[in-house]
Amino acid sequence: MTVLNIGPALSETVEFFSQFRCKLYFIDLFDDLLELTSAADHTASPQQLLSESLQFPRDTRFDLCLFWDLFNFLDREAIAALQDILRPHLHSDSLAHGFAVHNRRTEQCGKVYGIQEMDQLSTRPRPAALPGYSPYNQGQLEKILDCFCVTRSVLLPDSRLELLLRTTLQN
């Protein structure tokens, strides 16, 4: 199993996946948000910036992508660029996980995520708020995402949505 975790590597996530034969890629794009957000004075396009951060061996195919709440911080252009980069590394059964919001006025969560157990995530507070927060609701996100479709969504108590996604790509 090959997993892409868009976020910091947390001990519990590594511990959880250590029970499986798998390969984990930890790429914390949240570190690059200042450059990626639309408010930034871009010296490089989102495509260029993401291409530098997301470099994978040619034969890498992700079974699972953990986006967490990344989409809430990227504009449409950056999300499109992200999908362009990931597309060659997905297969027809690739799955993904992410967070959106039910109400766009929902405040930023300010947490980093890990996997504690099979059915339990762990969260830790971020040291500082992230730039570029402009969340999407499920309908908006589904229109933006062309590599993935939402297969299940769960409304969380704080008006956020937990999304399970499946790739729309066909082999």
Chain residues binding other proteins by CB under 8 A are 1, 9-12, 14-15, 17-28, 63-64, 93, 95, 97, 116, 118-125, 151-152, 154, 156, 162, 164, 166
Distance in Å, CB of 13 to other proteins, minimum: 8
Distance in Å, CB of 63 to other proteins, minimum: 5
Distance in Å, CB of 96 to other proteins, minimum: 9
Residue closer to other proteins by CB (options 104, 124) is 124
Residue closer to other proteins by CB (options 122, 134) is 122
Measured between alpha carbons, how far is 146 from 80 in angstroms, rounded to an integer?
8
Distance in Å, CB of 127 to other proteins, minimum: 13
Angle between helices 46-53 and 76-86 (to 10 degrees): 40
Distance in Å, CB of 135 to other proteins, minimum: 16
Residue closer to other proteins by CB (options 130, 165) is 165
3-state secondary structure string, the chain? CEEEEECCCCHHHHHHHCCCCCEEEEECHHHHHHHHCCCCCCCCCHHHHHHHHCCCCCCCCEEEEEEECHHHHCCHHHHHHHHHHHHHHEEEEEEEEEEEECCCCCCCCCEEEEEEECCEEEEEECCCCCCCCCCCCHHHHHHHCCCEEEEEEEECCCCEEEEEEEECCCC
Residue closer to other proteins by CB (options 41, 58) is 58
Residue closer to other proteins by CB (options 68, 136) is 68
